[in-house]
Amino acid sequence: MNVDVMTRPAVLILLGPPGAGKGTQARMLQEKFGLVQLSTGDLLRAAVAAGTAAGQQAKAVMEAGGLVSDDIVIAIIKDRLADEDCRNGVILDGFPRTTVQAQALDALLASTGQRINAAISLQVDDTAMVDRISGRSTCAGCGEGYHDTFKPPHDDGSCRKCGSPELTRRADDKAETVAGRLDAYHAQTAPLITYYDAAGVLQSVDAMAEIDQVAGDMATVVKSVMS
């Protein structure tokens, strides 16, 4: 398919370690720019919950804080990118995470005449990540993310967005697993910062700032690469 450059759907990549705020920012960008958040973590957790073959293979790896195999993740994202709702553009949250995945994404986008508008690196200190992750909860109703201190739900524990009373904590958010996830990030995902810098699409944002400040900086970057 040959897509004119002005009508190409936007493709944004969010890069950052566990707890950097990728999901938080992706949901805000989704609302602001009408793009679709594609989180491989969410897609994999849905596959685990549904008991699919991919989910059964991924479950133990995710609980241990490692990376699920490239084949499984690439197949999942390839299927999802073909969905109708992705036609206006996507925010890739947690994908790619290895050089093999980045190369597969390049090939996939080339085959549809698309390109990466920006790979945005959320820059944070590792020490703050454990605090962020250990205080995290997620609304079971709408998926909104919360933090006990930095972004609390209503006083009665319900979701500020949809009112659901059920907020859940992730199985891989235990302190001992978080250390392994950070190791996996530095060994396998951080090299993508150099990869996308070489491709001329790298942008960086200070993600140690407050959530709304980070969101403002992200929006500035997104506007600049979508014009």
Is 8 tagged catalytic? no
- Half-sphere exposure for 10 (CA within 13 Å, toward CB): 22
Between CA 30 and CA 90 the distance in angstroms is: 8
Quote the tokens at residue 131: 């605090």
**Number of residues lying near ligand AP5 (CB under 6 A):** 38
Ranges within 188-227 binding ligand AP5 (CB under 6 A): 207, 210-211, 214
CB closer to ligand AP5 out of 178 and 202 = 178
The DSSP bridge partners found for residue 138 are: 145, 168
Exactly one of 181, 192, 202, 218 binds ligand AP5 (CB under 6 A); that residue is: 181
The DSSP bridge partners found for residue 12 are: 91, 118
Ranges within 17-76 binding ligand AP5 (CB under 6 A): 18-24, 39-41, 44, 61-62, 65-68, 73
Over the window 91 to 130, marking each residue x when it contacts ligand AP5 by CB under 6 A and - when it does not, the resulting string is: ---xx-x---x-----------------------------
Q: Are 147 and 136 in contact (CB under 8 A)?
A: yes
Q: Return the SS3 of 169.
A: coil
Residues designated as active site:
22, 97, 136, 170, 181
